């Protein structure tokens, strides 16, 4: 397999962060004059492109010597070959798609730097200028991705090929699989009454009054009172977001505001909010909010506890199965139709690495630690961090695998994916060499002499 797709795949498409960093570097008078180092069809590669990719390598946490200049150049020639063919084949990438990608990248950079204003200040460009300058480059790279997907779109893998792939693996190449679990749960959420909601609304109305009329700081009130655990630590600051990121009620209230304006109290599925607009640039906005969630009263909580205790006893006696109890009584809409089984959003299946599930549900590993497959927990309090709700639940451990080397019986999906990727790589390798033979390719003499490429970019008769 060609090495050009291995180490450098971590930084395959240079992020906008590096592109902008390259723009900043270019302003330094000590940098050498830029020049063309390679050309593929009508697409050129500049010395600054290699320097920017090297910077991306360092920013990605790789050693600066982990990838050679020749590997970087070959990766970029491959990308230019894709772009050149995408233009020939009329691979379409709409302006809306490019703008969405640009918005996402800018939002991530602003999050790292601190704000859109700081981003503009650092690079000496407005957001509009940044978008205009890099629009075409981002579009071409999205075209390259589309071309690559088209090349491998028809590639499939058979069970025989999967088995052959696995049997050909060197023992040292077989991955070690950590212990995985499959779990199910039954969740009851205490009923939130109209009185509970009204109490929360009045509390937030009082907080808003203290800000608007009494002159207290929004950020300090957020840090004291907000029920949003993530933004509370940031004094209510939600950072830069793009329209469509938040729930509709939130953005409807926010887009009615002038800069530094504070909204009336409004309700979403998470509770009651007030929001302050700190800044807005087109569809991007920077805001902070205070969330007050209705607190379940003790009577409703005890009712849920009593119901769950009764259900727990019925399951233990065998008068109802765990799966039927989940279907008929659980308030967890995401799992009740699956007998309570919790889907892993990282993989799309039901198997969880404990590290993954703890990111979503920190209490889970403690609950299943001493359980055997088939066992289930006593009813306990459950904090749903995603929906920011508290309930009562029972957890059942369905399966727990032992740490092991990957094998076809237990890890077929993983091995099948690896086999498919290898087969796709072979298709890409053949495509690259075929297209090289018919493409106009020019490489600067110093790289022709110094580099031993994985593909025959340098033609014998050139």
Q: What is the pLDDT of residue 236?
A: 94
How confident is the model over 257-274, as a mean pLDDT?
Answer: 95
Domains of the chain: residue spans and CATH: 3-158+415-450 (1.10.4030.10), 180-191+297-405 (3.10.50.40), 194-292 (3.10.50.40)
Which of these, 32, 104, 45, lies nearest to 73 by C-alpha position?
45
Q: What is the pLDDT of residues 205-229, one digit of tens each?
A: 999 999 999 999 999 999 999 999 8
Q: Please enumerate in sequence order all residues whose Cβ is within 8 A of that of 297, keeping only pairs 6 or more positions apart, or say none.
A: 193, 195, 196
Q: What is the pLDDT of residue 125?
A: 80
Q: What is the pLDDT of residue 23?
A: 47
Please state, in angstroms and as integers, the Cα–Cα distance from residue 127 to each residue in 13, 56, 119, 132, following that order.
21, 21, 8, 9
Q: What does the alpha-carbon distance between residue 208 and residue 425 come to, in Å, rounded to a whole number? A: 58
Q: What does the alpha-carbon distance between residue 66 and residue 57 come to, in Å, rounded to a whole number? A: 9
Residue 159 CA to chain centroid, in angstroms? 31
Residue 77 CA to chain centroid, in angstroms? 28
Q: How confident is the model at residue 60 (pLDDT cuts 50, 70, 90)?
A: low
Residue 340 CA to chain centroid, in angstroms? 26
This prediction's pTM = 0.62
Q: How confident is the model at residue 241 (pLDDT cuts 50, 70, 90)?
A: confident
Place of tokens 């309930």: 391
Q: What is the pLDDT of residue 65?
A: 65
Q: What is the pLDDT of residues 138-174, one digit of tens each?
A: 999 999 999 999 999 999 999 999 999 999 999 888 9
Q: What is the pLDDT of residue 62?
A: 65
Q: Do the Cβ atoms of 127 and 71 come closer than 8 Å?
A: no
How confident is the model over 84-90, as a mean pLDDT?
Answer: 92
Place of tokens 């800000």: 211
Both structure tokens of 267: 């309700």
Residue 63 reports pLDDT greater than 90: no
How confident is the model over 96-118, as a mean pLDDT?
Answer: 79
Q: What is the pLDDT of residues 269-320, one digit of tens each?
A: 889 999 999 998 888 889 999 999 999 888 999 999 999 999 999 999 999 9
Q: Do the Cβ atoms of 378 and 394 come closer than 8 Å?
A: yes
Question: How do beta strands 441-443 and 266-268 pair?
Answer: unpaired
Q: What is the pLDDT of residue 74?
A: 95
Q: What is the pLDDT of residues 365-408, one digit of tens each?
A: 889 888 999 999 999 999 887 777 889 999 999 999 888 999 99
Place of tokens 């495509």: 431
Q: What does the alpha-carbon distance between residue 330 and residue 323 come to, in Å, rounded to a whole number? A: 10
Write phi, then psi, for 60 (nearest 5 degrees). Answer: -85, 0
Q: What does the alpha-carbon distance between residue 259 and residue 212 come to, in Å, rounded to a whole number? A: 15
Residue 434 reports pLDDT greater than 90: yes
Q: Please enumerate in sequence order all residues whose Cβ is within 8 A of that of 157, keeping only pairs 6 or more positions apart, or say none.
A: 416, 419, 420, 423
């Amino acid at each position: 397999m060609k090495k050009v797709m291995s180490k450098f795949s971590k930084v395959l498409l240079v992020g906008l962060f590096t592109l902008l960093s390259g723009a900043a570097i270019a302003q330094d008078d000590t940098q050498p004059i830029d020049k063309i180092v390679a050309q593929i069809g009508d697409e050129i590669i500049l010395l600054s492109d290699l320097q920017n990719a090297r910077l991306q390598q360092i920013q990605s946490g790789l050693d600066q010597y982990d990838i050679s200049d020749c590997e970087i150049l070959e990766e970029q020639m491959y990308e230019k070959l894709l772009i050149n063919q995408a233009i020939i084949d009329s691979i379409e990438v709409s302006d809306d798609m490019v703008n969405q990608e640009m918005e996402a990248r800018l939002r991530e950079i602003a999050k790292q730097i601190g704000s859109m204003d700081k981003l503009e200040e650092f690079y000496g460009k407005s957001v509009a200028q940044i978008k205009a300058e890099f629009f075409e480059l981002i579009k071409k790279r999205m075209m390259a991705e589309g071309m690559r997907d088209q090349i491998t779109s028809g590639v499939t893998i058979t069970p025989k090929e999967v088995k052959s792939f696995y049997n050909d693996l060197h023992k040292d190449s077989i991955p070690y699989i950590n212990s995985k679990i499959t779990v199910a749960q039954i969740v009851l959420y205490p009923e939130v009454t109209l009185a509970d909601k009204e109490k929360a609304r009045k509390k937030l109305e009082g907080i808003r009054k203290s800000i608007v009329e009494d002159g207290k700081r929004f950020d300090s009130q957020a840090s004291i009172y907000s029920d949003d655990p993530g933004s509370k630590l940031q004094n209510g600051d939600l950072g830069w977001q793009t329209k469509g990121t938040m729930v509709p009620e939130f953005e409807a209230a926010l887009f009615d505001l002038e800069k530094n304006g504070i909204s009336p109290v409004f309700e979403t599925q998470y509770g009651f909010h007030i929001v302050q607009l700190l800044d807005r640039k087109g569809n991007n906005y920077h805001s902070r909010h205070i969330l007050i969630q209705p607190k379940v009263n003790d009577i409703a909580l005890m009712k849920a506890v009593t119901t769950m205790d009764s259900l727990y006893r019925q399951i233990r006696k065998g008068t109802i199965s765990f799966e039927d109890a989940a279907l008929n009584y659980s308030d967890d809409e995401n799992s009740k139709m699956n007998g309570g089984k919790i889907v892993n959003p990282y993989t799309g299946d039901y198997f969880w690495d404990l590290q993954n599930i703890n990111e979503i549900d920190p209490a889970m590993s403690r609950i299943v630690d001493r359980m055997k497959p088939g066992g289930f927990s006593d009813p306990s309090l459950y904090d749903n961090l995603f929906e920011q709700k508290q309930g009562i639940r029972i957890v059942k451990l369905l399966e727990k695998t032992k740490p092991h080397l990957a094998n076809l019986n237990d890890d077929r999906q993983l091995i099948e994916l690896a086999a498919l990727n290898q087969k796709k790589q072979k298709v890409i390798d053949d495509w690259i060499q075929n297209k090289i033979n018919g493409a106009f390719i020019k490489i600067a003499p110093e790289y022709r002499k110094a580099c031993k490429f994985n593909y025959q970019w340098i033609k014998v008769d050139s």
